[in-house]
Structure 1
Amino acid sequence: MAGKSVAMTDIRSLPHQIYHRRKCLWLCSSAGNLESGEVLGPQILRRGKLPEVVGKDAEMTAKLTSLRRPYVPFPLLGNRHVETIFGSFFRSRPVIRYRRECLRMADAGTVALDWPVAGKEAEVWNRELPVNSPVVILLPGLTGGSDDTYVRHMLLRARRHGWRGVVFNSRGCADSPVITPQFYSASFTEDLRQVVKHVGNCFPQSNIYAIGWSLGGNILVRYLGQEAGNCPLSGAVSLCNPFNLVIADEDFHKGFNNIYDKALARALRKILKKHERLFEGIRGEYNIPLAAEARSVRDFDEGLTRVSFGYKSVDDYYADSSSSLSIKYVQTSLLCIQAENDPIAPSRGIPRDDIKANPNCLLVVTPHGGHLGWVAGDDAPFGAAWTDPLVMEYLEVLENSKKESQSPRKIDGVHIPMVDSIQI
């Protein structure tokens, strides 16, 4: 597999790029027409607006200089759908080479960890890091992986700051091998638990952190709540977390949001098709034909996901998997970053009261940004998201406060055998 990118290799040729970018422009135009009332006037575009900040840690807030700058969307990109689509299609893609490490989980399933080993900026990647350099685990969104542009930008920024990064590709994502008839879900945290233990054992002198986007953020926050005071992570960041999956599901089928629903369903179908032989003859309430032909994420979850994880209905699955229920139990430093106009993670689902009541949590809500868009800041419109400097600044503050007062840490945990290690 040498020389092969981890995912999305089928759309990287120039003709496909041209086709998809033309389609993107059409989608942006359609989105702007559908919600023209959200397009910002010139005065607002120039002035911007400071993010909403919720939390009790005034000392931390004071140290985050990024919060003193207003959020100013790039001109003509203030519409939530335009920002979402533009960030997805037009954000630059840093050149990074990975070493893939496949881990067998306790239930015999497999996940893939992609460790960046080289990139275009040779001076960044050739610099040897100290053995105790902090490590950050990245959890992409639904069906996402190490090829996603927002993931690559964060890896590059972390490396520039002297951090090690690793991408946790869930079962079936980014060509992660699937050897059992089970993928992953919004409720399933056991794979993350074992990955954290493994990474901690690989770097016993380092503090371990995690960043999760969208569904990855939901899984991360659930994990933090479950671990409570026993969490081995030194800090975490959640971005565009849907939090309340019942509310998110309600909004997912409205208006222009159907575009996202169909796109994610298509990505889920593609993963299932690649591994459909594992599900042949499977017993129980599974409806594999429904999942294989799913036109919505809900259809896929009805046919496969909710059954795999023991739920009686999709609604039960969404209600139980909502990370909004976990916030009150989090005892690890956590930064949650949301966009007020996020079409996929509705702001009305943010557990503001629980975050405000938890001294370990800090919430930042930008007035605009869409879903994983945040096309603003010094790197706009094609560079890293507006949130990236804030995320790095938060993690650096945590690390600086820990490294002088904390002795080397060893994570206790079971040995996780490596299935394979390949150079990519």
Structure 2
Amino acid sequence: MICIFPGLVSSINEPYIINILAKCYKHGYEVCLLNDRLYTNRDNGRGVSFPKNKPFTFVDDYKKILEIIKDQYQGYTFYAIGHSFGANTLARYLGLYANENIFSAAVCVSNPWDFYLGQRYLSKTIDQFLLNSRKKILRQYKHIFKDQKPNYTNYDYDELLQTKNCRELDNKFTSKLLGYRTADEYYKNISSIHYIDQIKIPVLFIQSKDDPILSENTLPIDEVNNNKNLIMIVTNTGGHVGWFEGLFQPKRWYLKPTLEFIDYLEQLN
């Protein structure tokens, strides 16, 4: 079984999610799509809730879900594919829970790695896209974010809709909801770059030098090379979760090495 970790504000309707699901099915795998409880772009808000009296974390949320999946699918071998924000969360999970994660191998696509440093390189266009996408979710689930606000937070819902960039929104809202004092503290704590040396399973990282989310200078190439379990592919082009090939019917190239990597390790099991 392959567990898919989507990017920020993504959903099952995203083209790249549809593409990876189809590819996994074609290779004979059962697939599970994991959604975080905060910024996933669902069609409705059913099932979305937040703790009333204490913060939550994406990693611990996923850990609990994955333990349930493992219990329900006993005898399965589990793999993971993470995209963008989901790749970062996956890598952090693999490092934090190196001795108890459920996966035999994983692939991380377009991992941002270091959110604190990455803020310096994030283009204004991407920043506004992510901001507007998250505001859309805030409006869509107003009954949750405004009317069911956790007791441990003190954000002003209407003020959130007036924020001018992602950093401001994270400073006033995301960081508080997840138990951090500031956006900087939040960025530093969730960055997977701090857990590279702790990962104990085979992981393939696929990155592009022209990724608008981060600079190639922030790629932790030496750190990855120092962990014998990790491999990193760095291409000159590909953008962010892109890598299209073909002129008339373009397809995503990164799906090839992703499934080749998992297929090879599956044959060894």
Q: What TM-score, normalized to structure 1?
A: 0.58
Q: How does 1:310-325 map to 2 (within 5 A)?
A: 310-325=179-194
Q: In structure 2, what is the equivalent of residue 205 of structure 1?
A: 75
Contact 1:375 1:381 in 2 (8 A): no
TM-aligned CA deviation for residue 251 of structure 1: 1.2
CA distance in 2, matches of 1:318, 1:381: 40
Q: In structure 2, what is the equivalent of residue 55 of structure 1?
A: none
Query: Could you say if the C-alpha distance between residues 332 and 395 of structure 1 is closer, same or farther in structure 2, counting changes exceeding 3 Å?
Result: same
Q: In structure 2, what is the equivalent of residue 160 of structure 1?
A: 26
Counterpart pick for 1:241 among 111, 123, 147: 111
Q: Does 1:339 align with 2:205?
A: no
Query: Could you say if the C-alpha distance between residues 145 and 274 of structure 1 is closer, same or farther in structure 2, counting changes exceeding 3 Å?
Result: same
Counterpart pick for 1:261 among 116, 127, 136: 127
Counterpart pick for 1:169 among 1, 12, 35: 35
Counterpart pick for 2:4 among 135, 138, 163: 138
Query: Could you say if the C-alpha distance between residues 168 and 282 of structure 1 is closer, same or farther in structure 2, counting changes exceeding 3 Å?
Result: closer
Q: In structure 2, what is the equivalent of residue 22 of structure 1?
A: none
- The amino acid across from 1:136 in the alignment is I
Counterpart pick for 1:396 among 248, 263, 268: 263
SS of the counterpart of 1:264?
A: helix
Quick one: higher RCO (CA 8 Å, sep 6+), 1 or 2? 1
Query: Could you say if the C-alpha distance between residues 380 and 364 of structure 1 is closer, same or farther in structure 2, counting changes exceeding 3 Å?
Result: farther
Contact 2:114 2:188 in 1 (8 A): yes
Query: Could you say if the C-alpha distance between residues 282 and 155 of structure 1 is closer, same or farther in structure 2, counting changes exceeding 3 Å?
Result: closer
Aligned length: 260
Contact 2:211 2:239 in 1 (8 A): yes
CA distance in 2, matches of 1:269, 1:181: 21
Contact 2:37 2:49 in 1 (8 A): no
Q: In structure 2, what is the equivalent of residue 371 of structure 1?
A: 240
Residue deviations 1:35-68 (CA, integer Å, cap 9, x gap): xxxxxxxxxxxxxxxxxxxxxxxxxxxxxxxxxx
Alignment RMSD, CA only?
2.1
Q: In structure 1, what is the equivalent of residue 223 of structure 2?
A: 354
- The amino acid across from 2:218 in the alignment is G
Contact 1:218 1:242 in 2 (8 A): yes
Q: In structure 1, what is the equivalent of residue 161 of structure 2?
A: 292
CA distance in 2, matches of 1:381, 1:343: 25
Contact 1:214 1:242 in 2 (8 A): yes
SS of the counterpart of 1:326?
A: helix
Q: Does 1:218 align with 2:88?
A: yes
CA distance in 2, matches of 1:214, 1:204: 29
Contact 1:139 1:216 in 2 (8 A): yes
Q: Does 1:385 align with 2:255?
A: no
Residue deviations 1:282-337 (CA, integer Å, cap 9, x gap): 55442433322233221221121100112121111111111000111001111100
TM-aligned CA deviation for residue 137 of structure 1: 0.7
- The amino acid across from 1:156 in the alignment is A
Q: In structure 2, what is the equivalent of residue 270 of structure 1?
A: 136
Query: Could you say if the C-alpha distance between residues 193 and 381 of structure 1 is closer, same or farther in structure 2, counting changes exceeding 3 Å?
Result: farther
Contact 2:50 2:150 in 1 (8 A): no
Query: Could you say if the C-alpha distance between residues 360 and 187 of structure 1 is closer, same or farther in structure 2, counting changes exceeding 3 Å?
Result: farther
Where has structure 1 moved over 6 Å in runs of 4 or more? none
Q: In structure 2, what is the equivalent of residue 50 of structure 1?
A: none
Identity fraction in percent: 27
Q: In structure 1, what is the equivalent of residue 173 of structure 2?
A: 304
Residue deviations 1:188-213 (CA, integer Å, cap 9, x gap): 20121122212222221210111110
Query: Could you say if the C-alpha distance between residues 387 and 380 of structure 1 is closer, same or farther in structure 2, counting changes exceeding 3 Å?
Result: farther
SS of the counterpart of 1:251?
A: coil
Structure 1 segments unaligned to the other structure (5+ residues): 1-134, 403-424
